[in-house]
Amino acid sequence: MGSITLNNPTDNISITHDQYLKGKSVLDKINDNYFLEVKETAVYNASAVASNSHVKAVEVYGSASYISKAWDTLVGIGSKLKSVLNTTSFLDTSKVATSIGLSISQWLNSSSLLSKITGQKFAITNASVADASGIIGDNTQDDVVSDIKIQDTSAVIDAAFDTANASSMTILKNARVSEIALVDPRIPLDLTFAQIDDATKNPVLAKIPSANFLLNVDEATVSQAFTLQSETAGGSLYTYSSNVKTVSINDSASNVQTNFDTLKDLTKLQAIGLNNASDADKLLTLSATNILQNDSVDLLKKITLSPYALDVTSTSMSQLEQLHPLNNSVIQSVEPPIDAAVMPNLRNYYLNDSAESISENYDRLIALGPNLKGMSFTTDTTDLSINYSQWQASKAILGDAGFKGKDASTSAASYLFNLSDVSAQDAVGSVGGATVNSNNTTASMFADSLIKSIVVKDTASEISANWNALQTEYTISGRTTKLQDLDFTDANDLTLSAAQVVKTSGASPVYADLLDKVTPTNKVTVKDTAANIESKWNDLATLYGSGSGVLGNLISGIELTDTNLVNLTAAQQTDDGGALVQMLQFKGYSVQTIS
């Protein structure tokens, strides 16, 4: 056969791919231009066949796997591609293996090719949640897509767990979505414990390869937090505990306080919030020793999701120095103050130390003001030795009906005050002593059952002005030991009447008890009327002569408050009486000798 002439050269010659390969010599004898439609062409041969200028149509067949691999080539054949036969039977039990696998990009850019495929079932990869939503929401696409593998950001996936994004959650839960991959697996999913524990939502996590996602879990209770890290502390571990990067707790102050020490071991714990209804109930009560531990400070600094207050129990004065520095600074402190992030949350304090230590650091106690709620002692001695100003500044707080011991559950400790630097007027009160520069009526301090002892510190004139009241208090049964001493702020003389110096009770005169508290540094000037001095002359002479107590060393002078003469016998002006005459003011014309 030399040549072939076609009667209808514009029509396609339909041949199989096998005929195409074996019939080349026949095709070469065709004199006219001719066109071929090549059937039964394997996918991997389609490109070569289509490149022949005589070929106008190609019918392709192949397995799902081969079609997937050659997809871009098939798209490139364009209009010459007449049909594609998927020779793999689609099985529901293994739909990925029997479906044509395409990336989402291939799927979205191949609409012209899709209609040419018979036996079509597709598995789509790298689809975003929005892409998957478009496929599942389109009946035409949904009918032919058997499997979708989603790839999206952590932000998009964790947003789907929110109620507002229920439609996205529906897509992720769809049976056609077989796997979810995160494009940023090192960025954790931010979910609440309720979300990861929700049986209607947590199957989504099962679709994410466990090695390729992390979790930041918020709003966990204390017990739930343990299940995310510590099996022994909270029972069984959460399924994805190994994926948990951080945990944030939202629970009551009571639960946080009860588990405070154990929470220190939760290395994944990032933040804590207290969910009590009112801020007043967001209160933790811990011992000062516990609070000052480094790991306690670290834990307290994690309470950032809500306000909180901290009551401090069993606080020593040295610990108080760290927790509540005077003037916001620690003076001569061995230990630094507590972290600045914790300090503003400290509220009430309960002291527990020796009476000596509390007394030495009493200004720190005063600085607490109404935030001092209790006090107890670590020693048998419970006497507080403080000055009058310190007593005035603290007595109302310590005497409050709600005042407690080392914590709110213990009763207030018993104590007594040893007071120093008490003015004479304050000691006896305006009721018992002379009212000097005072407009207020005050009771005698000696009547206060909580005061064990008083040291009066004042000028000689103020002590003189209040001498009768001091003497009275000093001799009242049960109060004699309260007045411990008289501390003069100057070296001036006491100015007393004759009666104040001399006691006339008893068989013979004795020195007034209170004068025992006067040292020779401050002398006594007897100042009275001539008649009163005259009536007490013998007693004064006897006391001066015998030197009873310290009186013999103390009388430095006798002053008259009137112009009358002191009438003395000659005998009264001899010996000790004569010595007193020498002390008498204007002695040359103040004495009249009588028989």
Contact 289, 296 (CB under 8 A): no
Q: Tens digit of pLDDT for each residue in 367-388?
A: 999 999 999 999 999 999 999 9
Size of the chain, expressed as the number of residues it contains: 595
Tokens encoding 58: 């190609």
Sign of the torsion formed by the C-alpha atoms of 382, 385, 387 and 390:
negative
CB neighbours of 550 closer than 8 A, spacing ≥ 6? Answer: 511, 515, 516, 518, 519, 520
Contact 267, 292 (CB under 8 A): no
pLDDT band at 557 (very low <50, low <70, confident <90, very high): confident
What is the Cα–Cα distance from 170 to 177, expressed in whole angstroms?
10
**Beta-carbon count within 10 A of 339 CB:** 13
Q: Does residue 280 carry a pLDDT above 80?
A: yes
**First-to-last C-alpha distance (Å) of the chain:** 193
Out of 23-32, 51-60, 419-428, 447-456, pick the least confident: 23-32
Contact 342, 300 (CB under 8 A): yes
Inter-CA distances, 261 with 266, 296, 340, Å: 10, 8, 21
**Beta-carbon count within 10 A of 3 CB:** 9
Q: Does residue 430 carry a pLDDT above 90?
A: no
CB neighbours of 439 closer than 8 A, spacing ≥ 6? Answer: none
Q: Count Cβ neighbours within 10 Å for each residue of 209-236 and write b for 16 or more, e otherwise.
A: eeeebbbbbbbbbbebbbbbbbeebbee
**Percent of residues in the chain assigned helix, strand, coil, to nearest 5:** 40, 25, 35
Tokens encoding 481: 């030991």
Q: What is the mean pLDDT of residues 262-283?
A: 95
DSSP letters along 319-330, please? HHHHHS-GGGS-
Contact 455, 485 (CB under 8 A): yes
pLDDT band at 396 (very low <50, low <70, confident <90, very high): very high
Q: Is 390 helix (H, G, I), strand (E, B) or coil?
A: helix
- Give the predicted TM-score (pTM) of the model: 0.78
Q: Does residue 148 carry a pLDDT above 50?
A: yes
Out of 81-85, 194-198, 423-427, 502-506, pick the least confident: 502-506
Q: Does residue 431 carry a pLDDT above 70?
A: no
Q: Does residue 149 carry a pLDDT above 90?
A: yes
What is the Cα–Cα distance from 128 to 148, expressed in whole angstroms?
10
Tokens encoding 545: 């002569």
What is the Cα–Cα distance from 223 to 203, expressed in whole angstroms?
23
Out of 306-315, 354-363, 553-562, pick the least confident: 553-562
Q: Does residue 172 carry a pLDDT above 80?
A: yes
Nearest to 119 by CA among 74, 64, 80: 64
Q: Count Cβ neighbours within 10 Å for each residue of 91-101 and write b for 16 or more, e otherwise.
A: eeeebeebbbb
Q: Is 563 helix (H, G, I), strand (E, B) or coil?
A: coil
| H or E element, residue 260 | helix 260-263
pLDDT band at 332 (very low <50, low <70, confident <90, very high): low
Q: Count Cβ neighbours within 10 Å for each residue of 113-143 and write b for 16 or more, e otherwise.
A: bbebbebbbbbbbbbebebbbbbbeeeeeee
Nearest to 469 by CA among 514, 417, 509, 504: 514
pLDDT band at 550 (very low <50, low <70, confident <90, very high): very low
Tokens encoding 170: 């529906």
CB neighbours of 277 closer than 8 A, spacing ≥ 6? Answer: none
Tokens encoding 233: 């502390």
Q: What angle do CA 467, 469, 470 make, to 5 degrees?
A: 65
Contact 482, 455 (CB under 8 A): no
Q: Does residue 38 carry a pLDDT above 90?
A: no
Nearest to 360 by CA among 315, 393, 317: 317
Radius of gyration of the chain (CA): 53
Which residue, chain included where needed, has tokens 């009588």?
A: 594
Which residue, chain included where needed, has tokens 């009212």?
A: 435
Helical spans, DSSP H, in 370-466: 388-398, 424-432, 460-465
* Percent of the chain whose pLDDT exceeds 70: 90
CB neighbours of 368 closer than 8 A, spacing ≥ 6? Answer: 320, 324, 349
Beta-sheet strand order (sheet of 244-251): 189-192, 215-220, 244-251, 269-274
Q: What is the mean pLDDT of residues 524-551?
A: 80
Q: What is the mean pLDDT of residues 59-69?
A: 90
Q: Does residue 548 carry a pLDDT above 70?
A: no
**Beta-carbon count within 10 A of 250 CB:** 21
pLDDT band at 416 (very low <50, low <70, confident <90, very high): very high
**Identity of residue 67:** I
Contact 546, 572 (CB under 8 A): no
